[in-house]
Chains A and B, each alone.
Chain A
Amino acid sequence: MTATPTPATWTPGPLEAALRAKRDEGRKLLCPYVMGGYPIDDWPRLIEGFASVGADALEIGIPFSDPVMDGPTVQEASTLALDNGTDPTTVLAGVATTEPGIPLVAMTYYNICFHMGHERFASSLKQAGISGAILPDLPLEEVDDWARVADAEGIETVMLAAPTAPDERLPRIVSRSRGFVYGVGLVGITGERAELASSALEMARRLKDTTDLPVIIGIGVSSPEQAAEVAEVADGVVVASAILRRMLEGGSPEDAIEFVGQLRAALDSV
C-alpha cells in the first residue's frame, strides 16, 4: 500500500476515528442518506432509526435548489423538502434533536456553505452535532478556503474521487480528504442502476491502492446485493436514492429503516 503520509500534527477527527476503528475490526461500513426535511416531520426519526439497524455513519442532506450531481430521485426529495419550507437552519435544528450515537456528515452544495459564511457554516454543523461535510461541487482546486476553516473548527471535509481522475490526482485527493474518501461509483449522477457499474470496483481498488483512509463507494449503489458486491473491495457504501425512492413511492419511514437493515445484513455477509 502506497498510503499518503498523514501530516504529523493530524489526529483523526471523530468521523475518521469511528470509521477506522470499525473497519479495522473487519466490519464493512454502511453510510445511508437522510434528506433533511423529507419526509416532512418524519425525517429526524430516520436518523436514530438508521443508526439502530446498524448504520456506521449518516449523510445528512441539506437540500439545495440546483443539485447538479443528483438524479431524479434525490431531486424530487429535495424539491419536496424545499417546498415544505426546509432551509439549512431547520435541518440543523432537526439534527440537533437526535442522538444517533454515530457520526453525521452534512451533504450539500457549496453555495449553501458560502452564503452562510465558512466560519458560521462550520460552527453551525458542529453545534448540531455534525462532524463532517461533503460538498460535491467544491473540488480540490477550490476547496482550500473552506478546508482551512473546517480543519480549524474540527469539521472533517470528505473529498470525492471519481473514475475520470487520472492516477496522479488520487493521492492529492486522499491527502486532502478527512473522515473517509468518497469514491464515486460511476461516471454520472446519483440514482439507482439495475447493475453495479464495473467502475465502482475499479474505483474502490484504485483508492485502496492509494490510501489507508476508509474508502467508501457511493452513487449508483442500489441494493443489498450491490452493496455486498462493492464491499468485497471497498470499506463501505453510501446509499441514497434507493432509500428515498421507497418513501417517494409511498413506503413508510419504517420501510426505509427495514431496507437499511437489509443493507446491513448484506454487508455483514461479506
Chain B
Amino acid sequence: MTATDVPTPSVMGDPDEGGRFGRFGGRYVPETLVPACAELEDAFREAWSDPEFIKEFNDLLRDYAGRPSPVTECHNLSAELGFRVLLKREDLNHTGSHKINNVLGQALLAKRMGKTRLVAETGAGQHGVATATAAALLGMECIVFMGEVDIKRQALNVFRMRLLGSEVRPALSGSRTLKDAVNEAMRYWVAAVESTYYCLGSVMGPHPYPWMVREFHRVIGNEAREQCAELLGPESNDGVPDVVVACVGGGSNAIGIFSGFADTNAELVGAEPSGGAAVGRQVPGVVHGSMSYLMQDEFGQVQEAHSVSAGLDYPGVGPEHAHLAEIGRARYEPVTDTEVIEAFQLMSRTEGIIPALEPAHGLAWMVKAKDELAGKVVLLNMSGRGDKDVAQVQAILDGDAEALETMRS
C-alpha cells in the first residue's frame, strides 16, 4: 500500500486554496515568511504527486522506521475494562513514536528543495529526536528549540538529540515550554528562511503544514484500517472499530489515525489534557500561523497549558481538529493528570507495554468511559513508548515534590 492509493475521504479532504478546513487554518505569518510558505506548498504538491518521491518515502518508512507498525489486541486489558481494546503500535517505530513518519517526509522534501538545515521545535523531545534522526540520516544540519522547562523534564531526549549531532537551544521566554519553542523556531525561520527548512512537528502552523503533516501521517490510519479489517473480519461492523481514540496535543497522531476512518461509522475521540483542552474550551484564536481553537484570556493573550505530559503541553490545536469538532465528526474529551498516571500504570501492568504519557491520555479516557464503551471495539493509537517518561513517573509515584509540581490536575 502506498500513501496515495487510498482515496481521500471527503470529510477529511484537502483544505481550500487558502489552507482552510471550514473556517479554521489559513496562513497568518509575518510577510517575510509568506513566499517561503508558498514555495513549500508548491514543492509539497509537486512531490506528493511524484511516484518517485512517494516510493522514496515509503521505502524509508519500511526499511528505516520499521513500518508497518502492528495492531495488537489487548486481551488482558479487554477483560479488565469490558470492551475489546486494540492498539496501533506507533510506539514500535524507530525513535519510539509516530513523529518519525512526518519527519522523514519533511526531511526528504527539504532535501529536494535544496535546503541544508532543519530547524524544529519540540515539547517532549520526541519530535526533536525524530528530526535529529532524519537530519543525521540525510546529512543535514539540525537545530532544535526546546523550552527550558522541558529540557529539564526530558533530559534523556536532550542527550539523544545531541548524540545525533543536533544542536539543542533552550527557549527562555514565556512559559518555557512547547509554545515558546514554536515561537523561537519561527523567529529563527524568519531570519534564516533562505537556507533553512522549518520541520514543524504537528498538524499546526501556517498552510500547508496542517495538511502536509496530515498527509505524512495518513499511513497510520491507512495501515490500521486494513489491519482492523483483517483482525475483526467483516461480521464485526464491516471490520471497522466502533471507536478510534487518540491523544491530542497539536493533534498529529490523532489526525493520522482519524484519516483512515473518517469515511466510516467509527466514532472519533480525541483525548485532551484538562489543563490544555483547546478544543474543549471552543474559543477560536490565531497563533503560530493558523486560526484554530486556542486557550487565551479575555484579551486574547495566549494562556499557558499545564499538563504532566510535555508533548501535550500546548495551548492550541491543529485547525483540522477544530473543524472536525465543529462539524461534529470527532469529539474531544478532557482527562486529568491523575487519571493519566493511573492509565500509564494500568497499561504497563496488564499488557507489558509501557506507554508514553501522551497516549496514556487516550487510555485514561477509555477507562473513564468504560460504561459507554461496554461491548464495543476500541482502537487506541499508541503514539509512543514510555521510556522517556519512566523517570518522571517514578518521581511522581515516589511523591517527589518537584515531580508532583508537574501534576496540575
Contact = CB atoms under 8 A, between A and B. Distances in A.
Interface of A: 64-71, 75, 79, 82, 87-89, 110-116, 136-142, 159-166, 169, 173, 184, 187-189
B23 to A, nearest CB: 11
A68 B179 contact: no
Contact of A162 (B18, B31, B289): B31
B314 to A, nearest CB: 12
Contact of A110 (B35, B194, B286, B301): B286
Contact of B300 (A67, A111, A173, A189): A111
A136 B29 CA distance: 8
Interface in B1-45: 18, 26-36
B29 A139 contact: yes
A165 B31 contact: yes
Contacts of B289: 137
Interface stretch (B86-94, B182-190, B378-386): B182-190
Nearest to A165: B35
B369 interface: no
A61 to B, nearest CB: 14
B285 A111 contact: yes
Contacts of B299: 87-89, 112, 115-116
Given A66-B174, A113-B300, A114-B284, 4 more contacts: A66-B302, A136-B31, A137-B28, A159-B31
B187 A110 contact: no
Nearest to B289: A137
B348 interface: no
Contact of B34 (A115, A140, A187): A140
A65 B30 contact: no
B191 A111 contact: no
A164 B28 contact: no
Contact of B190 (A87, A142, A159, A189): A189
B174 A65 contact: yes
A140 B26 CA distance: 12
A142 B296 contact: no
B193 interface: yes
**For this complex, into which size category does the number of interface residues on chain B fall?**
35 or more
B31 A65 contact: no
Contacts of A137: 28-30, 286, 289
Interface string B354-380: 000000000000000000000000000
B365 to A, nearest CB: 29
21 contacts: A64-B300, A66-B174, A67-B183, A68-B30, A68-B190, A111-B286, A111-B287, A112-B299, A114-B284, A114-B291, A136-B30, A137-B30, A139-B28, A162-B32, A164-B35, A165-B31, A165-B34, A169-B35, A187-B191, A187-B194, A189-B187
Contact of B285 (A68, A114, A164, A166): A114
A88 B301 CA distance: 10
B294 interface: yes
Contacts of A70: 187
B409 interface: no
- In the A-B complex, the 6 residue pairs with the closest CB atoms: A115-B300, A188-B191, A162-B32, A65-B301, A160-B31, A162-B31
Which of the listed residues B30, B174, B300 has the most CB atoms from chain A within 10 Å of its own CB? B300
A161 B34 contact: no
B76 interface: no
A162 B30 contact: yes
A45 to B, nearest CB: 24
A183 to B, nearest CB: 10
A164 B287 contact: no
Contacts of A189: 187, 190-191
Contacts of A159: 31
Which of the listed residues B31, B173, B284, B287 has the most CB atoms from chain A within 10 Å of its own CB? B31
